[in-house]
Amino acid sequence: MDVRKVVGLTLLVVLFLLPLSAFAGNDFRVPILLYHRFGPTVADGMTITTPVFETHMKYLHDNGYSVIPLRQLIDHYRGKGPAPRPKSVVIVEDDAHKSVYSDMLPVIRRYRYPVTVFTYPSAISNAKYAMTWDQLRELKKTGLFDVQSHTYWHPNFKRDRKKLKPDAFEKLVVTQLQKSKTKIEKELGGPVDMLAWPFGIYDDYLLKKAAEAGYIATFTIERHHASAGDSITRLPRYLLVNADSGKAFAQLLEGNAVKRNVVY
């Protein structure tokens, strides 16, 4: 391999792993609100009833919060845009569950809030619980939804590392990161350069592989605001449950979230 390419790739990985505090002087705190599924009742620990979701969106609207695209926040981390204003919020969803189309979309259309969906392509147009590619295209046409990667089939990297030999594990990781990115870009167009780690599992090795695959930002599941001190490689997100409503939702937005043990 050309020496210049090796040096360039090394610098990219180093920069990817550095915390934002090494570059940024502006302080900010932005909650990234992570949703999974919606419905009339709480079917599991990660289902939020549609009425509760509606109250979330109404609270943001009525209390002066500004919902910004995830891309806008990432642009700031990369030094390509201003710091988010006070009371900025980001909305994301993991898994591209079919209720995003049936329940989330109508509410989002009403408030015109931007949303980033992290999907694993193996389920799309295949699993009964997931959306179809046509539905995802319809979401993108609204101008409100962006679709990014959640790996190809949502593996548990911690478990897979224990049962696979190093070479096989590396092959799995590379396939999961690259195949997802390629498939989403082919089906929907636009850049796929952000990754949500399945189960919130990551380590330095996985972060390095994500950088090599072309991801500029990756996301975990940690219950605190994204701030200038966080690394763009492992930005925190609040995994919301139905109990995060009313006063609990208001406290979360203020940075005083109730601690919860959620079974993913």
Predicted confidence pLDDT, tens digits, the chain (264 residues): 554 554 455 444 544 554 443 344 468 999 999 999 999 999 888 999 999 999 999 999 999 999 999 999 999 999 999 999 999 999 999 999 999 999 999 999 999 999 999 999 999 999 999 999 999 999 999 999 999 999 999 999 999 999 999 999 999 999 999 999 999 999 999 999 999 999 999 999 999 999 999 999 999 999 999 999 999 999 999 999 999 999 999 999 999 998 877 666
* pLDDT at site 23: 41
* pLDDT at site 21: 39
* pLDDT at site 15: 45
Question: What pTM was computed for the model?
Answer: 0.89
Which pair of structure tokens corresponds to residue 143? 């101008």
Q: Which domains does the chain have, with CATH numbers?
A: 3-253 (3.20.20.370)
Phi, psi of 253 (to 5 degrees): -65, -30
Question: Which amino acid, residue 141?
Answer: K
DSSP string, the chain: --HHHHHHHHHHHHHHHSBGGGT-----EE-EEEE-EEESS--STTEEEHHHHHHHHHHHHHTT-EE--HHHHHHHHTTSSPPPPTTEEEEEEES-BHHIIIIIHHHHHHHT--EEEEE-GGGTTTSTTBPPHHHHHHHHHTTSEEEEES-SS---HHHHHHHS-HHHHHHHHHHHHHHHHHHHHHHH-S---EEEPGGG---HHHHHHHHHTT-SEEE---SS-EETTSBTTSB--EE--TTS-THHHHHHHTT-PPP-----
Torsion, Cα of 58, 64, 70, 73 (10° steps) = -170
Q: What is the C-alpha separation between 205 and 13, in angstroms, rounded? A: 11
